Chain A
Amino acid sequence: MIAEAAMSWEVPVGLEAEVAQLRRGDLNALAALLARYQNRLYRYLLRLVREPATAEDLFQQTWLRVAERIRHYDSRRSFEAWLFAVAHNLAIDNLRRIRPESLDEESSQGGAAVERLVSADPPAFDRTLSRERSVRLAAVMAELPVIYRDVLTLRFEEEMKLEEIAEVLGSPLSTVKTRLKRSLDQLRRTLETRFPGEDWQ
C-alpha cells in the first residue's frame, strides 16, 4: 500500500492551471480553487478546532495565506498537501494560543460542539439509524486529542495517502503511521465502552 502511495500524486485536471492563474493574481482561479476545496477544508478545520466560528476565521486566514504565499509555492509538491499544511499550521497555532495543554493530551470537552461538527443542516425529521451512528461516531471522534482527530480526518475523510499526511503534519511517515494506529485504537476502545455491541458501518 505504501509502495503504491510512493508513486507520484495525481494532479486533478485543471488544478495545475488554476494554481498557475492564482499565482498571476487571477481571482477567477481563486473562485475555482475555493469551489474545489471549500467543503473539505472547512470540514478539516472544524474537525481540528471544533468551534464553527473559529473554523470560519481560520478558513479565511488560510485562503489569505495561500494568496500571499502562492508565488513561493513549489509546483512540484502536491497543492492539496500544501493547502492543508497551511490550514493545519494556522489551526495548531490557534489551539496553542487558546489551550496550550490540549494539543497532546486527552480533552474532556466536545459534547456541546459535537452536533455542529456533524452537519450545519437542521436535524432531519426522519433521521435514520445510520445517521444516529454517524452522530455518535463524530461525537466520540471529537473527544479525541487533536493530533488523533487530525490524522483520522486526513486519512478517512480527505482520503490522503500517508505521504501526503506526513507532508501536511510536517512529521515523519513512521510517526504518522503510529499516530494513525493509536487514534484508531483509542476511538474503538471508547466506542466499545460507550456503545457496546454497536455496528459502526
Chain B
Amino acid sequence: MSEHDEIRDLLSLAAAGALSAEEEGRVARHLRECTACSAELEGWQALAAGLRRLPTPQPPAALLERVRASVEWQFAAEAEQRWNRGVLAFTLLFAWTVTLASWPIFRLVSGDMLGWLAPGFGKLWLGLVGYTVVAWLTGGVAAATLAYSRRRERRVA
C-alpha cells in the first residue's frame, strides 16, 4: 500500500479525532502536499459534524418520575433489609445468651430440685439439649419460610 493510500485510510479516524500523535503527524505532513486527501478529509469532517449535531431525543417527564419513585422504593427496601438484619443479629445473640445462661441459672436456683432429679440427671441434660436443638431448628425454618414468602411477595409487587 502506498503512503497516499495509507493516509487516505486514516482520514475517517482523523475526522473522528481518534489518531495517535504519530499518525496525526503523518496525516498533517501528507495533507500539505495532497489536495485530493484534503478534500477527502473535508468530506469526513462534514460527516463527523453532522453526527455531532443529531437532535437529542428527550425522555418523557413521566419516565423520570417513575425512575425516582422506583429508586426511592429500592432504597427503602434496602434500609428495611439492613434494619431486619440488625434485629435478627441482636435476637440471635440474645437467644444464645439466654440459652447458654439458662443451665447454670437453673442449677443455681434449683439446687434441691437437682438432688430430687439426680437419678434422671443424664436424661434432663439430654432433654435440654434436644429441646434447644428442636427450638432453634423450628425457629430457623420459620424465619427462612417467612423471608422466602416476603421476597416472593415483593417480586410480585
Residues of chain A whose beta carbon lies under 8 Å from any beta carbon of chain B:
1-4, 25, 27, 30-31, 34, 38-40, 42-43, 46, 52, 56, 59-60, 63-64, 67-68, 116-121, 130-131, 133-134, 137-138, 141, 152, 155-157, 159, 162, 177, 180-181, 184-185, 187-188, 191, 199-201
Could you tell me if A134 and B18 are in contact, using CB atoms closer than 8 angstroms? no
* Cross-chain contact of B63 among A60, A67, A119, A181 (Cβ < 8 A): A60
- When distances are taken between beta carbons in the complex, the residues of chain A under 8 Å from B75 are 25, 27, 67
Could you tell me if B49 and A201 are in contact, using CB atoms closer than 8 angstroms? yes
Query: Across chains A and B, which 5 residue pairs bring their CB atoms closest together, nearest first?
Result: A156-B51, A42-B59, A200-B50, A201-B46, A184-B12
- When distances are taken between beta carbons in the complex, the residues of chain A under 8 Å from B113 are none
The minimal Cβ–Cβ distance linking A71 to chain B, given in whole angstroms, is: 10
Could you tell me if A184 and B47 are in contact, using CB atoms closer than 8 angstroms? yes
CB-CB nearest in chain A for B79: A25
Residues of chain B whose beta carbon lies under 8 Å from any beta carbon of chain A:
12-13, 15-21, 24, 43-44, 46-60, 63-64, 66-68, 70-72, 74-75, 78-79
A-B contact pairs, 5 of them (CB 8 A): A38-B59, A63-B70, A116-B57, A137-B54, A157-B54
Could you tell me if B56 and A180 are in contact, using CB atoms closer than 8 angstroms? no
- When distances are taken between beta carbons in the complex, the residues of chain A under 8 Å from B56 are 39-40, 43, 119, 157
The minimal Cβ–Cβ distance linking A184 to chain B, given in whole angstroms, is: 4
Could you tell me if A3 and B57 are in contact, using CB atoms closer than 8 angstroms? no
Could you tell me if B51 and A180 are in contact, using CB atoms closer than 8 angstroms? no
Could you tell me if A137 and B13 are in contact, using CB atoms closer than 8 angstroms? no
- When distances are taken between beta carbons in the complex, the residues of chain A under 8 Å from B63 are 42, 56, 59-60
Could you tell me if B51 and A152 are in contact, using CB atoms closer than 8 angstroms? yes
Could you tell me if A67 and B71 are in contact, using CB atoms closer than 8 angstroms? yes
CB-CB nearest in chain A for B72: A27
- When distances are taken between beta carbons in the complex, the residues of chain B under 8 Å from A138 are 54-55
The minimal Cβ–Cβ distance linking B157 to chain A, given in whole angstroms, is: 15
* Cross-chain contact of A2 among B18, B47, B55, B58 (Cβ < 8 A): B18
CB-CB nearest in chain B for A24: B75
Could you tell me if A63 and B71 are in contact, using CB atoms closer than 8 angstroms? yes
